[in-house]
Structure 1
Amino acid sequence: MAKFVAAFFTGSSSMLAEGIHSVADSGNQVLLLVGGKRAARARTKEHPFGYGRERYFYAFVVAVVLFTIGAAFSLYEGVHKISDPHKVEAPIWAFAVLIFAIIAEAFSFRTAIIESNAVRGKQSWVAFIRRSKSPELPVILLEDLGALLGLIFALFGVTMAVVTGDGVWDGIGTLMIGVLLAVIAVVLAIETKSLLVGEGASPDVEDQIRTALEGAPEVSRVIHMRTLHLGPEELLVAAKIAVEHNDTAAEVARGIDEAEQRIRAVVPIARVIYLEPDLDRLRSTSASG
């Protein structure tokens, strides 16, 4: 609201772009909350694996909203202001709101960094954003970064417009905000689209699952395995495992049960597990040879 008030008194397109940016960000947080709530619904006959991936869908919608509302409007307003520049009036409104907003946004960004560090581990920030299976933290992290940089761009545009007396600088600052939002929206769209289409477990998690399977006495080896994230905290594991040809059905069933327990012990999010036993043909062939 403060940004819109400042935009009204100053006539600054940068301030107006920042106001629209804040509206888009606030709406995006609501979308993420809605996605989290809908994803928690119990599974049904129509959706036997539950609704966990709705979190990915709403994160993708966030990217679309950020691009269409935030970036598109800012780019339009920036071009309009450059083609028809106006002097920034009563700049003290803009400076006061922008400086306060930068301080507030810095605290928000700091919180996002602290929360991300708790789950990021040793990954770089780029790797964390690209590989995270939980969409909320990367989305909020990039949104906060974009908000902070956007405020700095707006402050730059307004300051230059006041110092030079040329309103074109205000339009340039608005264009910078639009380009920034467009880049962030595209990055978010690419990453959330990958999650929405379906991503498997990370290589280290798959190695843990394979080791747990092959550690079961009745399992000779893993013939092949597929994993799929049904949601950030729910993983589907499907594998064909080799068993000895002389094992009884009871021994195979017992081995499968133990293998499932071993998987869940090392990867608790592996909640849906399907194991298909098959004869260890490689060992049988080498033995007969």
Structure 2
Amino acid sequence: MSASGGTKAIIAALLANVGIAVTKFVAFLLTGSSSMLAESIHSVADSGNQGLLLLGGRRARRAATPQHPFGYGRERYIYAFIVSIVLFTVGGLFALYEAYHKWSHPEAITAWHWVPVAVLLAAIVMESFSFRTAIRESNLVRGGQSWVRFIRRAKAPELPVVLLEDFGALIGLVFALFGVGLTLATDDGRWDAAGTAMIGVLLVAIAVVLAIETKSLLLGEGAEESDVTAISRAVTDGPEVERIIHMKTLYLGPEELMVAAKIAVEPCESAEELARGINAVEARIRAAVPVARVIYLEPDIYSAAAARSATGGGEQGPAADPPGVAEH
């Protein structure tokens, strides 16, 4: 995912949410509707979350230091995880508390009856524009993946976060319209509380999904199967490498992949010849998978006999890896 696409979607969502938050809060002050209060707090939380994503993207661009030799790319994951916490607490738990309070002490909407409906309809229009921007930017990098797979597999967190937030905001607005509409129709404030509770449950669910997916990125994810296949093919396509003994990949940030591999090479007459071969392999890897920016290749001599003797004639396990022995 390009950083510019994610930034464009974040800014569009930020502008929409700031405007929506102001109008919702004015509607709450005029009507006292708990759904409007929950939705205004939801929009404030979303605005803060977009600010956090922008801050994380900026801090992730810092140059590597001796203390952090692989750079700060994972800061984007940290701030995305903070977003899930904010959405859970400020958005979801607050809405559930407000729903409980209003259910215990229901209040009908007695003045400015048209305001909440008008504000919610306007908010749906503004949020739809933001959601459309997020969809358009996501489609540029999603390829043939389903939306669920894209959200689960994306290594850059910004677009999945904005997509889920905007989707949740639109559904939340529908819930708020449901609660406010039935409250106006029946003069029973419990409908308003019910709409608020639905918003709270929705936000908690979205926050949990974001937390789970972002935690996986923080722990460290390897390359997708298609990229692993492309890297493997790039390594063995030339005459320099006989086979890959073992290989591991790890995302250091959304757009920086580390590749570490032990490769079986043919005996060389000089270290210079070996170095030229390794450089050629690295060039092929970067051409095949451009995000593979940090590459470590350890040359070795493959010996099938040594592999069999090391495991008593069986298959080599991952724990044993003596020099010159292949891992299968």
Structure 1 length as normaliser, TM-score?
0.96
Q: Identity of paired residues, percent?
A: 65
Give the superposition deviation at 1:101: 0.3
Q: Does 1:268 align with 2:294?
A: no
Deviates more, 1:238-247 or 1:257-266: 238-247
Please point out which of 14, 39, 43 is paired with 1:22: 43
Please point out which of 208, 211, 214 is paired with 2:236: 214
Q: Does 1:88 align with 2:119?
A: no
Give the superposition deviation at 1:164: 1.2
Cα distance change on mapping 1:9 and 1:252 into 2, 3 Å: same
Cα distance change on mapping 1:285 and 1:153 into 2, 3 Å: closer
Equivalent residues of 1:245, 1:280 under 8 A apart: no
Equivalent residues of 1:88, 1:162 under 8 A apart: yes
Cα distance change on mapping 1:236 and 1:225 into 2, 3 Å: same
**Residue identity opposite 1:252 in structure 2:** L
**Residue identity opposite 2:26 in structure 1:** V
Cα distance change on mapping 1:249 and 1:3 into 2, 3 Å: same
Q: Which residue of 1 aligns with 2:203?
A: 181
Equivalent residues of 2:134, 2:162 under 8 A apart: yes
Q: Which residue of 2 aligns with 1:249?
A: 271
CA distance in 2 between counterparts of 1:283 and 1:243 reads 16
Q: Does 1:10 align with 2:31?
A: yes
Q: Does 1:34 align with 2:55?
A: yes
Q: Which residue of 1 aligns with 2:80?
A: 59
Equivalent residues of 1:214, 1:220 under 8 A apart: yes
Give every structure 1 segment of 4 or more consecutive aligned residues whose post-TM-superposition deviation is greater than 6 Å: 283-286
CA distance in 2 between counterparts of 1:230 and 1:87 reads 53
Q: Which residue of 2 aligns with 1:139?
A: 161
CA distance in 2 between counterparts of 1:246 and 1:97 reads 74
CA distance in 2 between counterparts of 1:172 and 1:136 reads 31
Q: Which residue of 2 aligns with 1:99?
A: 121
Aligned length: 286
Equivalent residues of 2:268, 2:274 under 8 A apart: no
3-state SS, counterpart of residue 238 of structure 1: strand
CA distance in 2 between counterparts of 1:100 and 1:134 reads 31
Equivalent residues of 2:64, 2:72 under 8 A apart: yes
Equivalent residues of 2:24, 2:40 under 8 A apart: yes
Give the superposition deviation at 1:244: 1.6
CA distance in 1 between counterparts of 2:166 and 2:275 reads 51
3-state SS, counterpart of residue 225 of structure 1: strand
Equivalent residues of 1:239, 1:274 under 8 A apart: yes
Render the CA deviation track for 1:211-239: whole Å, top value 9, x for unaligned.
00011211001111000101111000000
Equivalent residues of 2:39, 2:172 under 8 A apart: yes
Equivalent residues of 1:59, 1:192 under 8 A apart: yes
Equivalent residues of 1:41, 1:51 under 8 A apart: yes
Q: Which residue of 2 aligns with 1:68?
A: 89
CA distance in 1 between counterparts of 2:127 and 2:289 reads 36
Give the superposition deviation at 1:285: 8.4
Give the superposition deviation at 1:283: 8.4
Structure 2 length as normaliser, TM-score?
0.85
CA distance in 1 between counterparts of 2:307 and 2:59 reads 51
**Residue identity opposite 2:233 in structure 1:** T
Q: Which residue of 2 aligns with 1:259?
A: 281
**Residue identity opposite 1:117 in structure 2:** N
CA distance in 1 between counterparts of 2:269 and 2:75 reads 42
User: Pairwise mapping of residues 155-170 of structure 1 onto structure 2 (< 5 A)?
Assistant: 155-170=177-192
Give the superposition deviation at 1:8: 0.9
3-state SS, counterpart of residue 52 of structure 1: coil
Equivalent residues of 1:218, 1:251 under 8 A apart: no
3-state SS, counterpart of residue 241 of structure 2: coil
3-state SS, counterpart of residue 220 of structure 1: strand
Give the superposition deviation at 1:248: 3.6
Q: CA RMSD in A?
A: 1.4
